[in-house]
Amino acid sequence: PKPNGDPTAMLMKSYACQRRTPLKHYNSFLTEALEILSQNAEYNDNEGRSVAFRRAASVLKALPRRVRSMQDLRCLPCLGDHSQRVIKEILEDGSSREVESTRQSEQYQAMKALTGIFGVGVRTADRWFREGLRSPDDLIRTGQQLNREQQAGVQYYDDLQKPVTKAEADVISDIVEKAVHAVLPGAEIQLMGGFRRGKEVGHDVDFLITHPEEGKEEGLMPKITNWLKEQGLLLYQKTTRNSYLEKMDGPARASSNMDRFERCFSIFKLQKSAVSCKSSSTASAEDVSTARESERPGEHQSEASGWRAVRVDLVVSPYSQFAFATLGWTGSKLFERELRRWAGQEKHMSLSSHALYDSKQNLYLRAKTEEEIFAYLGLEFIPPSERNA
């Protein structure tokens, strides 16, 4: 959006997939508050309310300037009464009582801590909360039954709470590329999720893998994870097989966010020295020598260990579905949700990470690029860096 002009005169489209939403915007003082209420609604199993607050926040992210008065909100879509009340209070008093009491509440804090454990969803966290448990420590102390995923989640909790940096993501990219090419030369690997949208940090690193010869990608994941295991690079992995069958699943699944690709939820063991080397690998010889110096044993003693745990998601897609998978795994989550809603409500189509089905023509629309998919949907192409809805 252009930085000049009257924002009230600017036409704000109502679906997030019709708008350009940059990573950095002018209204985080409002969007953070609304997102706390959204998160809290999710913890209370109120999806409708959660999405409403998230949509309201997303509209403010797309504004070309900071909101200074309620006047600035005239003509904006997706701002319900409740969101407007919260915004008004923040504009007038600097904060909202509802947001602050939510932030401080025992339930919000415990649910945040518990759902922050890899492998723990809202349902499980809520059950634990009602049993009086508040943190990962409480789970260990009371000897809760945990599945394999949750055990890893508790074991690496501190590391997995730390944001993953772009430099770390780049090192992981090199490792994944090496692993994939070792087991299937010619395969293509793409960084997905938040890092593809230009984020500087993330909660994990997401990759999409394919091969130009359809069929070559079948059964690829176990080969990749075996290679990584042999190199001692995997702390945890769980692979689910590809279960997508166009005829059987059809377009009905498109409303669900879950897809059926061969997929691996994993935790990598990342050597910290690899990250400092990588950060200086494009630098001059002088910089490289300082990087080596920082690797002296003395420096390393300040850290508990020479490695950290990092969450990595790997997805394998057949070449014919690669464009859909790319669009589906770039995010943001709200952008994806809005794309599917747009397709269904406005175009009588159903979009998934596998395919686009046109219900009027009764056929699947093939696409090789994201651009083609936006065109089918009658949407202006939005680049990944502006999908931060």
CB of 237 to ligand GTP, least distance (A): 16
Q: Does 295 bind Mn ion (CB under 5 A)?
A: no
Cα distance between the two ends of the chain: 14
Of 121, 153, 149, 119, which is closest to residue 136 (Cα–Cα)? 153
265 binds, among Mn ion, ligand GTP, none (CB under 5 to 8 A by kind): none
Q: Does 329 bind ligand GTP (CB under 6 A)?
A: yes
Q: Does 328 bind ligand GTP (CB under 6 A)?
A: yes
Q: Does 338 bind Mn ion (CB under 5 A)?
A: no
Identified binder of ligand GTP from the candidate list 54, 103, 199, 340, rule CB under 6 A: 199
Tokens of 16: 């997030």
As beta bridge partners, residue 310 has: 268
Q: Does 259 bind Mn ion (CB under 5 A)?
A: no
Judged by CB under 5 A, the chain residues 304 through 333 that form the site for Mn ion are 313
CB of 312 to Mn ion, least distance (A): 8
CB of 262 to ligand GTP, least distance (A): 12
Q: Does 168 bind ligand GTP (CB under 6 A)?
A: no
CB of 336 to ligand GTP, least distance (A): 5
User: Is residue 138 annotated as a catalytic residue, yes or no?
Assistant: no
Identified binder of ligand GTP from the candidate list 85, 97, 123, 333, rule CB under 6 A: 333
Written as one letter, the residue type at 185 is P
CB of 328 to Mn ion, least distance (A): 12
User: Is residue 170 annotated as a catalytic residue, yes or no?
Assistant: no
Q: Does 243 bind ligand GTP (CB under 6 A)?
A: no
Count the Cβ atoms, other than its own, within 10 Å of residue 168: 23
Tell me the site size for ligand GTP, rule CB under 6 A.
Answer: 17
Identified binder of ligand GTP from the candidate list 7, 202, 251, 384, rule CB under 6 A: 202
Identified binder of Mn ion from the candidate list 35, 72, 206, 370, rule CB under 5 A: 206
Q: Which of 72, 126, 159, 204 is catalytic?
A: 204
Nearest-10 crossing angle of helices 47-61, 81-93:
50
User: Is residue 313 annotated as a catalytic residue, yes or no?
Assistant: yes
Residue for token digits 């949509």?
Answer: 55
Q: Which of 126, 159, 206, 259 is catalytic?
A: 206
As beta bridge partners, residue 316 has: 209, 262
Q: Does 304 bind ligand GTP (CB under 6 A)?
A: no
Active site residues: 204, 206, 313
Which residues here bind ligand GTP, judged by CB under 6 A?
193-194, 199, 202-204, 206, 257-259, 328-329, 331-333, 336, 353
